[in-house]
Amino acid sequence: MIDPTDQNARPARSDGARKERPSRTRGRKKAAAHADMDPPSAHGRLDAALYINRELSWLEFNERVLDEARDTRHPLLERVKFLAITSSNLDEFFMIRVAAIKEQILADVYEVSPDARTPMQQIQAIHEQVEFMLAAMSACFWDDLHPKLMEAGIHLLRMNEITAQERRALADAFAREIFPVLTPLAFDPGHPFPYISNLSLSLAVVVHTPEGAVRFARVKVPDVLPRLVQVPGTDGTPYRYVWLEDLIAANLGMLFPGMTVAESYAFRVTRNADIEIQEDEAEDLIRTIEESIRMRRFGSVVRVGVQRTMPDRIKEILIENLEVNRDDVYTIVPPFGLSHLMALLRIPRPDLKDIPFVPASPFAEEETEDMFAAIRRNDILLHHPYDSFGPVVQFIRAAVRDPNVLAIKQTLYRIGKESPLVPLFIEAAENGKQVAVLVELKARFDEENNIGWAKQLERAGIHVVYGLVGLKTHAKMALVVRREPDGIRRYVHLGTGNYNPVTARIYTDVSFFTCREKITEDATEVFNYLTGYSNKDAFRKLLVAPVNLRERLGELIEREIAHAKEGRPARLFFKMNALTDTGMIEKLYAASAAGVMIDLVIRGICCLRPGLPGISETIRVFSIVGRFLEHSRVFYFENGGKSEVYLGSADLMGRNLDRRVELVFPVEDPALAAFVRREILETALTDAVRARRLQSDGTYLQPGKTVEGLDSQQTILQSRVKASAQKPPLLREPPVG
């Protein structure tokens, strides 16, 4: 087995031409759709040198996540968490993005990306950058985190690092609890090469028969068992673990009695996991998606990670039988699948974790019946996770239990495994209210959860719809219809994030409550668009994709250009997760050329190049990762001194603007708009700790310090803690002063 202290983890760069092995036929249409590319607009393609490659930009983003794992200002187990997230992100990148590019290659699709790279060139660039990322992840674990975990009393051990007594105890545990689960699979003329499912960790085992014959077998490391196996302690240290694959490798003799186990090497397979759903041909969408989920494990192989000491003859067996190329094989210094390190956060060591905090709440629990009165007085805005997600649940609870509420309508995209909202919808239906819920079954990797919730809601007699054919419904909105003394009034909650109380404590998002008539009328029209038939192409206040969002955002940018040309104040300040749409990038370049000052806070992918003379000189791009996942989308327009602020669910990506149902909504209360600008936007620009500034070459650097040591997330958190200590929760809007 490999010595984990050997840090020679950086594989050699791949040279020479890449040759793809065709494995199965793909349609051009499917490959192009899966690629999710945003080609330059037909009316005027800009020079390819003005675009950063989308996939390489994503890898830069994951490098920034890895930076958080390397940042000693985070508590130790939080750093481990970021390393686990880096690994999980990379898995998903291969399952979706790399798989999509490979689909193009197999379908002989030669269309280049906006930065003029062919699919093959993109794969080559990805391969090279991923090799260095894997080496950096390994160094982060073995050189930095592993020694510090040992110092803190958390021991992740190899089998040769435990005592003989501990090895005997583990061997007994292996025989009782692990051996019965294992199934060795031989590979020889009488046994075909075994199927290896997505993200499976396996051991390639070489055994010798008593006659001296050499045999090959595969042993799967079962994912139904914990990857970290606790060692029976003899020194009083409770947190001593060995890796499951090491324990299996040390006891392979039990699986091959009468044979000599000569060699064993770990390897891990990643497959294409982007399911294809032909909605227009599916009679039963739920059944179709359930079948697609089952098929996800059978996708084509896009990556094979192998132990660095695996000899070439074993690699050749894997390459031949998994139908991959040599460039699809990445050498790894174990452990594989660092996402499993997330299990360490269950260790009760608060001294190694972030200090917990109680989110501020503008509503007292016992005052839920007053929420509608509060919304009538003022629009209400919450900034999660600094402000509690509780009021969102309270809003629905108040609607469920208020006898004057006639109907509740809501969209659900990702709601998690344990949602407090579903029981409330069922209670509302039992109370005789009209309840309609749109459950997006196509939310990637949440399909199973959402199918389960949809079935439960349908059994309760609730109107459940699954959205529009060919479009994901990503909009976040809830509508309550209430009978009041002066007639029917509608209340809405609109948000930038999912209706998930768990992620609401991890992601930064915004919730907005209002009963403004034009906004609630628009929300009603959107629900009718989703549940019935509608050709509506205009809304009073809301910007709705794919109806008018792209057009209206373009018009608002053009308005800033006009202001700049006339010498009036002109500024754009956008915050989002990704910027890839070339049409929007062209408009931002045009605005910069006209002299509009533009600040972009983009957590993830950014295909725009800032700071190019005569093209993007006035554009600055920042990225913040930090303790919380920056998820809110904010669009600020200076508008000649009459500024406007919009919030919403959409990033500036082709899929959000054209292939999803999205909502972007105005914040019309001047105090709340000022609050958004100050706390969410301006605070980000003063971050001198977590922020990174995008350079025109696509790399990110930490900007010069404007306020010594300011961490924007920590600054907001401290302000909330201070405000909560000074003032008890009241039925009020969040502080704006």
Instruction: Tell me the pLDDT band of 441, cut-offs 50, 70 and 90.
Output: low
Beta bridge partners of 455: none
pLDDT at 46: 61
In DSSP notation, 646-677 reads EEES--BSHHHHHSEEEEEEE---HHHHHHII
Q: Is pLDDT at 707 greater than 60 in this prediction?
A: no
Domain that holds residue 551: 543-726
Residue 352: left (phi > 0), alpha (psi -120 to 50), or beta? alpha
pLDDT at 34: 43
pLDDT at 718: 87
pLDDT at 725: 59
pLDDT at 705: 53
Closest residue by Cα to residue 620 from 593, 601, 648, 633:
601
Higher-pLDDT residue of 218, 371: 218
pLDDT at 532: 78
- Digit-coded pLDDT (tens) for 181-234: 999 999 887 788 999 989 999 999 999 999 989 999 999 999 999 999 999 865
Lowest pLDDT segment from 220-229, 254-263, 464-473, 514-523: 464-473
| Residue ending a domain, choose from 509, 531, 553 | 531
Closest residue by Cα to residue 217 from 161, 264, 281, 163:
264
Beta bridge partners of 383: 510
pLDDT at 361: 78
Q: Is 474 a catalytic residue?
A: yes
pLDDT at 25: 36
Lowest pLDDT segment from 364-373, 425-434, 521-530, 611-620: 364-373
- Exactly one of 127, 474, 493, 631 is catalytic; name it: 474
Check if the beta carbon of residue 7 is closer than 8 Å to that of residue 138: yes
Do residues 319 and 410 share a domain?
no
Do residues 324 and 401 share a domain?
no
Mean pLDDT of the 521-527 span:
94
Closest residue by Cα to residue 413 from 344, 491, 353, 500:
500
Q: Is residue 6 part of a domain?
A: no
Q: To 10 degrees, the CA torsion angle through 181, 146, 74, 223?
A: -10
Q: Is pLDDT at 335 greater than 90 in this prediction?
A: yes
Domain containing 258 — which CATH number? Answer: 3.30.1840.10
Domain count, the chain: 3
Q: Is residue 306 part of a domain?
A: yes
Do residues 410 and 294 share a domain?
no
Mean pLDDT of the 594-613 span:
97
Do residues 382 and 258 share a domain?
no
Beta bridge partners of 228: 243
Tokens 């060995």 belong to 242
Residues 6+ apart with CB under 8 A from 176: none
Do residues 83 and 217 share a domain?
yes
Q: Mean of the per-residue pLDDT values for the chain?
A: 85
Do residues 143 and 184 share a domain?
yes
Report which secondary-structure segment, H or E, holds 726: helix 712-726
pLDDT at 431: 87
Do residues 384 and 457 share a domain?
yes
Q: Is residue 134 part of a domain?
A: yes
pLDDT at 364: 57
pLDDT at 42: 38
Mean pLDDT of the 31-35 span:
43
Lowest pLDDT segment from 95-99, 131-135, 249-253, 600-604: 95-99
Q: Is residue 440 part of a domain?
A: yes
Closest residue by Cα to residue 713 from 388, 385, 351, 345:
385
Q: Is pLDDT at 447 greater than 60 in this prediction?
A: no
Q: Is residue 733 part of a domain?
A: no
**Ranges assigned E (strand) in 173-259:** 185-187, 201-208, 214-220, 228-230, 239-243
Do residues 524 and 555 share a domain?
no
pLDDT at 196: 92
Instruction: Tell me the pLDDT band of 438, cut-offs 50, 70 and 90.
Output: confident
Lowest pLDDT segment from 13-17, 73-77, 110-114, 453-457: 13-17
Q: Is residue 231 part of a domain?
A: yes
| Residue ending a domain, choose from 531, 561, 577 | 531
Q: Is pLDDT at 329 greater than 50 in this prediction?
A: yes
Locate all alpha helices (DSSP H) within 417-483, ordered by sequence.
421-430, 447-459
pTM for the full model? 0.87
Mean pLDDT of the 326-345 span:
95
Residue 199: left (phi > 0), alpha (psi -120 to 50), or beta? left
- Digit-coded pLDDT (tens) for 473-513: 889 999 999 999 999 999 999 999 988 888 899 999 999 99
Do residues 525 and 609 share a domain?
no
My answer on whether omega of the bond before 311 falls inside 30° of 0, hence cis, is no
Higher-pLDDT residue of 45, 342: 342
Do residues 151 and 257 share a domain?
yes
Do residues 413 and 299 share a domain?
no
Check if the beta carbon of residue 119 is closer than 8 Å to that of residue 104: yes
Give the integer Cα–Cα distance in Å for 438 and 464.
6
Higher-pLDDT residue of 107, 533: 107
With pLDDT > 70 as the criterion, what percentage of the chain qualifies?
83
**Ranges assigned E (strand) in 369-412:** 380-384, 405-412
| Residue ending a domain, choose from 326, 352, 378 | 352
Mean pLDDT of the 505-524 span:
96
- Digit-coded pLDDT (tens) for 48-84: 899 999 999 999 999 999 999 999 999 999 999 999 9
Mean pLDDT of the 596-602 span:
98
Do residues 433 and 501 share a domain?
yes
Domain containing 438 — which CATH number? Answer: 3.30.870.10
30, burial (CB in 10 Å: exposed 0-12, middle 13-18, buried 19+): middle
Residue 16: how many CA atoms within 13 Å on its side-chain side? 8
- Digit-coded pLDDT (tens) for 79-92: 999 999 999 999 99
Instruction: Give the CA angle between residues 126, 131, 134 to the nearest 5°.
Output: 120
Residue type at 89 in one-letter notation: N
| Alpha carbon distances (Å) from 665 to 378, 603, 735 | 16, 21, 21
Q: Is residue 500 part of a domain?
A: yes
Instruction: Tell me the pLDDT band of 274, cut-offs 50, 70 and 90.
Output: confident
Q: Is pLDDT at 281 greater than 90 in this prediction?
A: no
Residues 6+ apart with CB under 8 A from 156: 146, 149, 150, 228, 241, 242, 243, 335
Residue type at 264 in one-letter notation: S
Q: Is pLDDT at 648 greater than 50 in this prediction?
A: yes
pLDDT at 369: 52
Q: Is residue 181 part of a domain?
A: yes
- Digit-coded pLDDT (tens) for 109-150: 778 999 999 999 999 999 999 999 999 999 999 999 999 999
Lowest pLDDT segment from 3-17, 91-105, 486-500, 598-612: 3-17
